[in-house]
Amino acid sequence: MLWASASAATKFGVQSVHPLILANVRFFIAGAGMLAWAYGVQRTQNAWPKGPEWRHLTIFALLNTTIYLGAFVLALKQVSAGIGSLSTATNPLFITLLSAIWLRRPLRWFEAAGLALGLLGVSVATYPLLEDAHATVEGLLILLVGMISVSAATVYYARVQWQLPSLVINGWQVLLGGVLLLPLTLLTADFDASHYDQRFWLSVFWLILPVSVLALQLWFFLIRKDPVRASLWLFLCPIFGFVYSYLLLGEPITIYTVVGTVLVIGGLWLGRK
């Protein structure tokens, strides 16, 4: 429920400020907060990045934070929150495809079929939204770039032999991702038209604490219990995402939405079989 709320919270935030301003504020506060906790409160030993670790952190930050989350907030200016949640659910399918290409692992027939079903489901769900201004082709393409980037980040993360604690890795990659995004924000964002009102700060607060901190800790707890069973809960993300977009933002739920979501969930089930 918490993870799926990220799209709706972002949708509220971009009504007050330029999407990249929202992203940068979130990255700097979240990254600095995690590092302050790791170094100042936990006093983690031997946790300062050295040599090649800086390069790994920078590449991971570029793919996982700068490109993915930057594209995500830009896309949600043009795409419904429900579609944002639905696209996030397809992440495991893209990971399967990229790991097959990058790691030269054979792509099995049910994985390929799962990816095809997932993409078909997103296409079906977005079809009517293109006609009533709840989605644009440009927004969907930006969203696709983001999904490919975060999937590449996941595969890259798995290839690196990390020696740093996970909180330190996460803190640095979010902070570095904000630094890498900052030049684009300064060049393209309209600061004069941005309003740092209550809606903006509530959106930032929700994206940092309930989504980035609490939801992630719950996810790690489930992963330690049983990774396979934990992954099944991700199937609920697009369902909650469409419920939030309908109740909070007035975005439509149609027969296309239902059929598309069923296809995506079927593709995920097949791809993880």
Domain with 207 in it: 5-40+47-271
pTM of the model: 0.84
| pLDDT on residue 69 | 92
Residues 100 and 107 sit within 8 Å (Cβ to Cβ)? yes
Number of domains making up the chain: 1
Q: Cα–chain-centroid distance for residue 198? A: 24
| pLDDT on residue 133 | 65
For residue 199, what is the enclosing H or E element? helix 198-206
| pLDDT on residue 140 | 87
- Residue burial 111-127, b: 16+ Cβ < 10 Å; e: rest: bbebbebbbbbbebbbe
| pLDDT on residue 231 | 67
DSSP 16: T
10-residue mean pLDDT series, the chain (273 residues): 91 94 95 92 85 95 94 90 81 77 78 83 81 80 90 85 88 95 94 93 94 80 70 77 89 87 84 68
| pLDDT on residue 273 | 66
3-state class of 135 per DSSP? strand
